[in-house]
Structure 1
Amino acid sequence: MGRTKTIALALFAALATLATGASAPRAQTLAALPLPSPSAQPLNPAKPLAAWTAFCQRYAAECALDPNEPARITLTPATWATIAAVNRRVNTALAPITDLEHWGTPDRWDLAEDGAGDCEDYQLLKRRLLADAGLPRRAMRMTVVIDEKGEGHAVLTLVTDRGDFVLDNKVSEVMAWHRTGYVFIKRESADVVAWVSLGGVTSPVTTANR
């Protein structure tokens, strides 16, 4: 077995154990969640990213959609603890590196199998671990935003019964989408293997106030 696969298996095993057994910090309890708020509303179909299309060709199971799965995650204290633990642990476990430095290409989506990656790789790994922990993949949507620097950025949106929450490699807190300060451009559809526009909706707070 190559070194890359050895690193990947060790990382997946360690994070999977944490996801199913770790307790969240006190601040990340269900009682600390904001009151339910409206979700970001998908609009028209949107063009997929070329890097996402290539990723789906390499990892078809990561892009497969089961219409029989719930479209929303029912948040419980245990589920919230798992989400918070996976987000925090992946953020600290992976080494940040740009796709250009990593692969010699401007944009490549991967599962950080060698322990390093950029924003989308963090989120794809989080989704893999959360799906392994029993959360419905259909309710976990890769999302493209414009960040506080005016640059393109990828986050993972969890559609829940308490609103949409964002997992982000820039912060360890799991945040309601409207607290991020990001401009939401588009995300994966929950109904077909495709993307939908979010219309460039801007969350009403700035990242400086998160």
Structure 2
Amino acid sequence: MRSGDHRGSRSLLRTGLLLAGLLTASQATGQTLAALPPAGPLPVASGEAKPIPAWVEFCRRSAAECAVDPSEPETITLSPRVWQTILTVNRGVNGRIRPITDQEHWGVPDRWDLAEDGTGDCEDFQLLKRKLLAEGGLPRRAMRMTVVIDEKGEGHAVLMLRTDRGDLVLDNKTSAVLPWHRTGYTFIKRESQSAVAWVSLGGATGPTMTANR
């Protein structure tokens, strides 16, 4: 496909995702800003963590998607408009992207991408959500790719939004936006907010301590 065709198809995909989210976000049960609990303790960041090789390669191809701007806020201030934008993008991406493994998609065990061809696995969903949310005005620095152990005991990628109402999780397994400690996941590591790097979360599972950024 020609580069112009790629740009056109990506633009159409983003428009479709946003429209799909607008049609479905209002259907989310209990997903109101007022229903969110007050900000509580955050998962502890305890030193550096080894980056995922596929993330390193993604950042080489798409440096702007990994860049950290220290002038951006570290947290998102939630307002009704911002909350609706988050729900719209989260549900829109989950509803439009077809899940597929990297082996099926690319012929390799692990590759990070933006799912702009309409297919992808867990990290691809979350990378596209972050791109759309950043285009909608949310600070990229406050949206950190995060590795967890899921309910099956397997590695899984989610998008952690650091907000004034606590750390919230966007996930392709559910369209509910949940506080981190209500996901049932074990939190292993996330992208740093101060450098193109990763920090350890030490297997956090509940709101027990205050985060070290």
Asked if these proteins are the same fold (TM beyond 0.5), I'd say yes
Q: What is aligned with 2:116?
A: 113
Q: For 2:96, which of 93, 97, 110 is the aligned residue?
A: 93
Separation (CA, whole Å) in 1 of partners of 2:81 and 2:166: 17
Aligned position for 2:151: 148
* Residue from 60, 64, 70 that aligns with 1:61: 64
Give the corresponding residue for 1:207. Answer: none
Q: Which protein has greater RCO, CA pairs closer than 8 Å, 6+ apart?
A: 2
Alignment pair present for 1:30 and 2:40: no
The count of aligned residue pairs is: 204
Report the TM-score, using the length of structure 2 for normalisation: 0.90
Please list every run of 5 or more consecutive structure 2 residues that lacks an aligned counterpart in the other structure: 208-213
1:82 and 2:85 correspond: yes
Residues 131-154 of structure 1: per-residue CA shift (max 9 Å, x gap) = 000000000000000000000000
Distance 1:4 1:114, change over 3 A: farther
Match of 2:188 in 1: 185
Of stretches 97-106 and 16-25 in structure 1, the one that deviates more from structure 2 is: 16-25
Question: Structure 2 CA distance, aligned partners of 1:7 and 1:93?
Answer: 14
Shift of 1:18: 6.4
Gaps of 5+ in 1: 205-210
Q: Percent identity?
A: 63
Deviation at 1:22, TM superposition (A): 8.3
The structural deviation recorded for 1:38 is 1.3
**Equivalence for 1:130:** 133
Change beyond 3 A, Cα 1:19–1:71: farther
Whether 2:65 is the aligned partner of 1:73: answer no
Q: Is the 8 A contact 1:119 1:154 kept in 2?
A: yes
Whether the 8 Å CA contact 1:19–1:129 is kept in 2: the answer is no
Distance 1:78 1:142 in 2: 23
Partner of 1:208: none
How far residue 66 of structure 1 moved from its aligned partner, in angstroms, is 0.4
CA contact (8 A) 2:187 2:204 kept: yes
Is the 8 Å Cα contact of residues 94 and 117 (structure 1) preserved in structure 2?
yes
* SS of structure 2 residue aligned to 1:28: coil
1:43-58 equivalence runs, <5 A: 43-58=46-61
